[in-house]
Amino acid sequence: MAKVMSEYDVESKFIDRLESIGYGYVDIKDYSGVVANLRTQLAAFNAAKLIDAKGAAEFSDTEFNRVMIHLDNHTVYESAKLLRDKYILTLDNGKTVYLDFFSFDTDRNIYQVTHQVTMDPAHKDDVVYKNRYDVTILIMLHVGAANIEKSTGILLPCMTASEEGITSGKYLFDETCVVYSKIRPELSKATIPGFTGLCSADAYPLKPRADILPRIILMQILSDKFVKFATSTSARTKMPKINQEELGEYVFAIPCFEEQCLIAGFLSDFDEAIAAAKKELELWKELKKGLLQQMFV
């Protein structure tokens, strides 16, 4: 009979897995520890700016208090917006720095995990009941169906799982995975996030073999052939979705690795051209908006 793992063992294995892909373990016991860690990591994340402005990569008590006033007491949605914007911090010496809380360049972000964090009213006034969080992931983006553009493979802006208030089951994926939304397969929603994160139970993280590029898997999933297969399979259920067994029945040809690289490079060139065109379109929209404001002052 297979040995049943304890909850603690499951948590420990999950933490070990996160550490193996680059997460740093940090020992945090309560809210004061969370705040102290934020202070340390935010200073490290903005070290170059702080050193240039004040000669040290650290915050004084009054400087960090200004940051906390800016961040504290907001809804998860308001906080998500604040964390994606820069904050203009006035330093004690009168200079200002533009603080970053988060970067869409995933290599810049600081990823951490902690275990058994306790929160109760003694730690924070707006905490009603005492809670203990078994495994807490700090800065991990959540990718769901709503974050994937239909039929294009483009990843839309994401929030962390905690910011979205996601409490249902989630799957861990890494930078090599393709995330595929199993709900309503006719929408053809799949993407390569390119970072480590979480996807909801409504999506599958698909990890290719070492000899298959993720871009090739994505290309197959977005193809008309696959969409027709997934749509016809899911039509047998009340809620249109494809399960893992059905997904595993799909068969397709894989070119040699050299040809895969050529195809992936060709598609990447297209993606870059599309991104440049979208950026130019946004600039024209802003220009038009500015002209209209000047015309009707």
Q: Helix, strand, coil % (nearest 5) of the chain?
A: 45, 20, 40
Q: How many CA atoms lie within 13 Å of 188's alpha carbon, on the beta-carbon side?
A: 17
User: What whole-number percentage of the chain has pLDDT above 70?
Assistant: 86
Domains of the chain by range and CATH? 7-132 (3.90.640.50), 140-254 (3.90.220.20)
Across the strands, what pairs with 38? Answer: none
Calculate what percentage of the chain has a pLDDT beyond 90: 28
Q: Please, which residues have CB within 8 angstroms of residue 264's CB and are 6 or more apart in sequence?
A: 213, 215, 216
Q: Give the pLDDT confidence score for residue 128 in this predicted structure.
A: 64
d(CA 145, CA 165): 15
With 80 as the cut, is the pLDDT of residue 85 above it?
yes
Tell me if the pTM is above 0.85.
no
pLDDT tens-digit series, residues 87-139: 999 999 999 999 988 777 666 777 788 888 887 777 666 666 677 777 776 76
**What angle separates helix 47-54 from helix 31-45, to the nearest 10 degrees?**
70
By the 8 A CB rule, do 234 and 241 touch? yes
Q: In this predicted structure, what is the pLDDT of residue 96? A: 93
